[in-house]
Amino acid sequence: MTAAAGIRCMLMRGGTSKGLFFLASDLPGSPADRDALLLAIMGSGHPLQVDGVGGGHPLASKVAVVSQSASDDADIDYLFLQLGVERATITDRQNCGNILAGVGPFAAERGLIAAGNESTTTRIRMVNSGAVVTATFATPHGVPAYAGETAIAGVPGTGAPVLLRFAGTAGSATGSLLPTGRVRDLIDGVEVTCVDNGMPVVVARAADLGISGSESPGALASDDELTARVQSLRIAAGKLMGLGEVSSLSVPKTTLVSAPRDGGTICTRTFIPVQPHTAIGVLGAVSVATALLLPDGVGAELAEFGGPGHLVDVEHPTGHLTVDVELDTSADPPAVLSAGVVRTARKLVDGIVYPAAYRLPPARRAANQRPIGAADASPS
């Protein structure tokens, strides 16, 4: 299908994000051509993405590219792409656990996998990191179901549960669970734990940056001094984590932790990378939980575990996200045994999208590479 004739895609909500889902076969084979097309489809480069279908926010400017997997250990390949909003940027430097929730149902809708009569379990390879996740979702009579009784914070109403079990997430972007080689580092006078269990995250105490940790995202966004410190902190951490110069990238994320206020394990405020998140990303929450479970992890002394030690109830601005993380802390370095979470997803629109006229910038066309790095990119 040509761009002029439109491109088949599905708009889905996955967890607390929205994105466009494409079959890889419906997009150009060249990554540069593909990315230029997706930027045009989304309308990136305008704060409202007014000439595209993007939602004018990083959480609604995401793309999943899905195909059958050539790997023996997976059924589906899922490439996540985060598109900028005000800037026409695109990055594959991170996974997205929220959009991941829609991948299994989308694959069943498109016939990439056979759906069971009651439920379907499929293995998804996250192309961005190579990790494999097992997704189980409802498929009564062989058709994905989106209605159900499962509620997740940040999404109105309820939906059918999607159980995600992760494997091989440690070192997803950095190659190591503790990419600096230490549980604690001191950066700009602030104690941090830099951890990568599906998402590179810098964990620091909210109090150490001069806030309580209960502020609203709007209040945090208006604090220019705070956002400048967050940016400085993550730029320095990015170098220590082996990510290089990250000032224009969406990773690492920064999460500030404080004592829980609503019966959870920990209270969080996350920045993506400097815009406050209205909730917290799935894999970001997994990494934060991992930091709390590490001996001497920053913020661990603030955590209140009310149940099994591997269940971490993460409070965020719009509710709670419970993640299941098990570590072998007797190993050196600590080893991830398992990680999991329950999400919901819903098909919103299935049809044809028509992009504005676009072309590759000459430098990119010559280099045949996509522009990596989105300063206003989002979480997982």
3-state secondary structure 340-365: EEEEEEEEEEEEEECCCCCCCCHHHH
The one-letter amino acid code at 21 reads F
User: Could you tell me the two tokens for 269?
Assistant: 């405020």
User: Three-state DSSP class for 177?
Assistant: coil
Instruction: Pick one of 3.30.70.1230, 3.40.50.920, 3.50.50.60, 3.10.310.10 as the CATH number of 185-340.
Output: 3.10.310.10
Q: How confident is the model at residue 249 (pLDDT cuts 50, 70, 90)?
A: confident
Average pLDDT, the chain: 91
- For 108-166, the pLDDT digits (tens) are 999 999 999 999 999 999 999 898 999 999 999 999 999 999 889 889 999 999 999 99
Query: What are the structure tokens assigned to 336, written together?
Result: 């991830």
DSSP 8-class letter at 355: P
7-169+344-367: CATH homologous superfamily?
Answer: Diaminopimelate Epimerase; Chain A, domain 1 (3.10.310.10)
Domain boundaries, the chain: 7-169+344-367, 185-340
Domains 7-169+344-367 and 185-340 share a fold: yes
pLDDT in tens, 305-318: 876 667 899 999 99
What pLDDT is attached to residue 167? 85
Are residues 374 and 35 in contact, defined by beta-carbon separation less than 8 angstroms? no
pTM above 0.85, yes or no: no
- Give the pLDDT score at 360: 52
